[in-house]
Chains A and B, each alone.
Chain A
């Protein structure tokens, strides 16, 4: 599923611009606004995060979301990925942005 994500990284070889997810594709980015569209496997996205994405559709890489991504959903997403990839919650902290 397509999700507009927050970009992280500095654009260098050890730290390229990227979205903070274990598996995704797309790679359409806007470094100026810090946003990117990413195609994320649905199995990596909890149902409540999918509901948030459906409730607030995005059409460009500039217009801010009408409401910020809730911290509770961010925490739930990180824990979901930690379980699925068994690498702990320190690894990924994706944010819909």
Chain B
């Protein structure tokens, strides 16, 4: 007797209607309150695997009164990663790159913010990510 199985393995996530998701903010800005630069929310029926994030800051021009400044990425309302300083010296800089497997589920959000509480001066901020969105 011939026995045939029709069981089929479930496709891997990258074969389930997958698309790349990415975003980048790069700006040289003066003092400002905390401001969201990009946000991504996972649609119904989808998941997102975050493969890489990058955060940098670079002090471009000196402030008249020093204050803290930072580039941040929040995931589900909590800090995922942050880079910042209050050093008031041109070329003060920081960078953070993370590679990993962070899964966001439907309805969850990741967003990036910057702030600069100095008086005068400018700071370059950059926050970026690459991810794959796919069917649940």
Q: A residues engaging B (CB < 8 A)?
A: 9-13, 16-19, 21-27, 29, 31, 84-87
Contacts and interface: CB of A to CB of B under 8 A. Distances in A.
B64 interface: no
Contacts of B45: 86
A84 B10 CA distance: 25
Contacts of B27: 27
A17 to B, nearest CB: 4
Interface of B is mostly: strand
Contacts of B111: 18
Nearest to A19: B36
Contacts, number: 68
Nearest to A14: B77
B43 interface: yes
Contacts of B37: 25-27
Given A12-B33, A85-B44, A25 B38 contact: yes
Contact of A27 (B33, B38, B43): B38
Contacts of A27: 25, 27, 35-38
A25 B35 contact: no
Most chain B beta carbons < 10 A, residue from A9, A11, A25? A25
Interface string B7-48: 000000000000000011101000011111111111111000
B109 interface: yes
Most chain A beta carbons < 10 A, residue from B24, B27, B34, B109? B34
Contacts of A29: 35
Contacts of B38: 24-27
A86 B108 CA distance: 11
13 contacts: A11-B32, A16-B36, A16-B113, A18-B35, A19-B36, A22-B39, A25-B38, A26-B37, A27-B25, A27-B38, A31-B33, A84-B44, A85-B107
